[in-house]
């Protein structure tokens, strides 16, 4: 299949290809780019013998300057910024899929209204602007945003600014020469000069080791659920103290399940109730896209200064900052309604028919909990090695700090032209990359660098040009 946009003349097998010319491959070979650019000794190739790309020094010509993998808030924001900059790109993935398939349909956002906008590079297409134009309820703060409002907004943003999304999965991504070869679920192969990985969190769902390997009928992750009606009348144990675990517990209770929560912490944490904030309060804890407080203000507004911090400090902050806590509006739906077992850790889990026996330690004492289902609300841990469509050779070339990609100031990994945004970039740019609010910074930075590479912008400042292969 010819990559879209390729217009070069082709030589046929058997002709004497010269270094720097393109030839068309035989039709039987589906694992290789059909058109290749020969930059070295091509004799083996012209005899029809397959040799590894690296040996043959094949370098396919890109059919598109930039490909974006993932059409969630970050992918759509990068796309909208590239459009503003006049850079040609293709973007793959069902728009907003993780929000439409892997989050509860009755969920409310934890982020406030003003911190829940995608980035278009101009600030025109905000959640507030959408709600105003469509007669929808909206408040900047102190109002939980319903997930339906947010997904409607994001889909409007996509249709308005990123109407070229191709709703297909990327099933393979590898490096060929200086470029990237992308295989789509449709069978098409695309060659891109640069790739932005905006794949979000779903590959990184974390289930504690003691709960792994048990049937999905008995153990699931919060991201496996859209609704909870099927749990009505059943005992369900939720593990975790974060927003997702607490909201899942509330929704289970409201759906008629007999639900309880196990948490390691000694108490549950809740974000403060909305109050009229005096000047003194605002000075002590200014409002920010990640909630009130000077630290939150730093994380949300100055991610460029997070990256130069020592690696150990960055990791500690990403682990601890904005730790597990429920939104203020969730508290009355949990406390007094759902039993919470504090200071409790699960030691082992054994299935007995359609039930699960959990051996737990609660405040130092051993106990047994029997339940019909466990839902792990135990978060997400970035591990680039778990992204299933990344070719192993390519992953091996991505310099990692632990299991997270080391990124330069433009979100580019040690593989030139390969960028990671969103959760995968949190260890570099801080907690804001876990939230929609961080999409603007990421999309602007990546947009500038990508545009510079394709000759659509002024040279990037030296601060954006440093090398991701430096020590993390």
Ligand X SMILES: Cc1cc2nc3c(=O)[nH]c(=O)nc-3n(C[C@H](O)[C@H](O)[C@H](O)COP(=O)(O)OP(=O)(O)OC[C@H]3O[C@@H](n4cnc5c(N)ncnc54)[C@H](O)[C@@H]3O)c2cc1C
- 125 forms part of the interface with ligand X (CB under 6 A): no
Which of 98, 469 has the CB closer to ligand X?
Answer: 98
- 303 forms part of the interface with ligand X (CB under 6 A): no
Q: Contact 403/382 with Cβ under 8 angstroms? A: yes
Looking from the CA of 307 toward its CB, the CA atoms found within 13 Å total 25
State the nearest-atom distance from the C-beta of 14 to ligand X, in Å: 37
Q: What is the DSSP secondary structure assignment for residue 4, as one 8-state letter?
A: T
Which of 422, 447 has the CB closer to ligand X?
Answer: 422
- 92 forms part of the interface with ligand X (CB under 6 A): yes
User: Which of 17, 33, 60, 70 is the binder for ligand X (CB under 6 A)?
Assistant: 70
C-alpha distances out from residue 269 to 23, 240, 266, 322, 325, Å: 63, 12, 10, 11, 5
| Residue ranges in 2-61 that form contacts with ligand X under rule CB under 6 A | none
State the nearest-atom distance from the C-beta of 443 to ligand X, in Å: 10
**Is 347 strand, coil or helix?**
strand
Question: What tokens were used for 90?
Answer: 């293709």
User: Which of 3, 33, 75, 291 is the binder for ligand X (CB under 6 A)?
Assistant: 75
User: Which of 64, 79, 87, 199 is the binder for ligand X (CB under 6 A)?
Assistant: 199
| Residue ranges in 223-242 that form contacts with ligand X under rule CB under 6 A | 223
Expressed in percent and rounded to 5, the helix, strand and coil fractions of the chain are 30, 20, 45
- 72 forms part of the interface with ligand X (CB under 6 A): yes
Q: Give the relative orientation of helices 147-161 and 73-85 as an angle to the nearest 10 degrees.
A: 30
CA gap 38, 256 in Å, rounded: 64
- 324 forms part of the interface with ligand X (CB under 6 A): no
User: Which of 65, 121, 200, 430 is the binder for ligand X (CB under 6 A)?
Assistant: 200
- Beta bridge partners, 195, equal 67, 418
- Which residue reads 């809740």 in tokens? 270
Which of 65, 242 has the CB closer to ligand X?
Answer: 242
Q: Quick one: which segment of 44-52, 196-204, 257-265, 404-412 binds ligand X (CB under 6 A)?
A: 196-204
Which of 23, 440 has the CB closer to ligand X?
Answer: 440
CB within 8 A of 199, min separation 6: which ones? 69, 70, 387, 422, 424
Which of 74, 441 has the CB closer to ligand X?
Answer: 74
- 197 forms part of the interface with ligand X (CB under 6 A): no
Q: Contact 437/116 with Cβ under 8 angstroms? A: yes
CA gap 190, 181 in Å, rounded: 6
**Is 196 strand, coil or helix?**
strand
Could you list the beta-strand ranges (E) of 3-149.
21-24, 35-38, 64-69, 89-92
- 69 forms part of the interface with ligand X (CB under 6 A): yes
CB within 8 A of 81, min separation 6: which ones? 119, 120, 121, 443, 444, 446, 447
- 169 forms part of the interface with ligand X (CB under 6 A): yes
| Residue ranges in 426-445 that form contacts with ligand X under rule CB under 6 A | 434-437
User: Which of 37, 83, 90, 110 is the binder for ligand X (CB under 6 A)?
Assistant: 110
Which of 58, 195 has the CB closer to ligand X?
Answer: 195
Question: What tokens were used for 9?
Answer: 């003349």
Which of 97, 277 has the CB closer to ligand X?
Answer: 97
- 376 forms part of the interface with ligand X (CB under 6 A): no
Strand-pair category, 179-184 with 170-176: antiparallel
User: Which of 80, 191, 193, 198 is the binder for ligand X (CB under 6 A)?
Assistant: 198
- Count of chain residues binding ligand X (CB under 6 A): 32
CA gap 250, 375 in Å, rounded: 13
Q: What residues line the site for ligand X (CB under 6 A)?
A: 69-75, 92-93, 97-99, 103, 109-111, 116, 169-170, 198-202, 223, 244, 389, 422, 434-437
């Amino acid at each position: 299949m010819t990559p879209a946009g390729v217009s070069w003349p082709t030589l046929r097998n058997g002709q004497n290809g010269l270094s720097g010319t393109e030839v068309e491959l035989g039709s039987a070979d589906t694992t290789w780019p059909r058109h290749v650019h020969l930059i070295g000794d091509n004799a083996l190739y012209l005899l029809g013998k397959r040799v590894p790309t690296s040996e043959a020094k094949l370098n396919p010509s890109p059919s598109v300057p930039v490909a974006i993998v993932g059409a969630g808030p970050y992918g759509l924001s990068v796309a909208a910024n590239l459009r503003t900059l006049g850079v040609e790109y293709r973007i793959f993935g069902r728009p907003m899929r993780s929000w439409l398939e892997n989050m509860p349909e009755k969920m409310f956002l934890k982020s406030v209204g003003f911190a829940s906008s995608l980035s278009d590079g101009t600030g025109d297409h905000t959640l507030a602007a959408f709600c105003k134009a469509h007669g929808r309820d909206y408040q900047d703060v102190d109002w939980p945003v319903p997930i339906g409002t947010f997904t409607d907004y994001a889909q409007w943003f996509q249709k308005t600014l990123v109407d070229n999304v191709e709703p297909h999965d990327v099933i393979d991504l590898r490096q060929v020469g200086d470029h990237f070869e992308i295989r789509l679920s449709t069978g098409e192969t695309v060659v891109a000069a640069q790739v932005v990985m905006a794949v979000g969190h779903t590959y990184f769902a974390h289930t504690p080791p003691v709960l792994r390997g048990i049937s999905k009928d008995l153990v699931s992750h919060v991201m496996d659920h859209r609704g909870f009606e099927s749990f009505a009348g059943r005992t369900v144990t939720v593990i975790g103290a974060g927003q997702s675990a607490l909201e899942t517990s509330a929704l289970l209770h409201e759906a008629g399940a007999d639900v309880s929560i196990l948490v390691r912490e000694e108490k549950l944490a809740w974000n403060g109730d909305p109050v009229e904030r005096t000047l003194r309060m605002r000075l002590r804890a200014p409002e920010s896209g990640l909630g009130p407080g000077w630290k939150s203000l730093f994380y949300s507004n100055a991610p460029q200064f997070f990256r130069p911090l020592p690696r150990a400090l960055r990791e500690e902050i990403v682990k601890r900052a904005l730790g597990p806590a429920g939104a203020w509006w969730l508290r009355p739906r949990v406390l007094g309604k759902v039993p919470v077992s504090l200071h409790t850790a699960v030691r082992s889990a054994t299935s007995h028919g359609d039930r699960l026996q959990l051996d737990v330690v609660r405040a130092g004492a051993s106990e047994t909990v029997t339940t019909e289902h466990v839902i792990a609300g135990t978060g997400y841990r970035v591990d680039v090695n778990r992204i299933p469509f990344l070719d192993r050779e390519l992953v091996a070339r991505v310099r990692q700090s632990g299991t997270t990609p080391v990124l330069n100031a433009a979100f580019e990994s040690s593989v030139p032209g390969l960028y990671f945004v969103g959760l995968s970039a949190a260890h570099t740019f801080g907690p804001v990359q876990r939230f929609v609010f961080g999409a603007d910074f990421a999309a602007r930075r990546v947009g500038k660098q990508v545009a510079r590479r394709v000759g659509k912008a002024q040279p990037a400042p030296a601060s954006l040009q440093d090398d991701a292969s430096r020590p993390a």
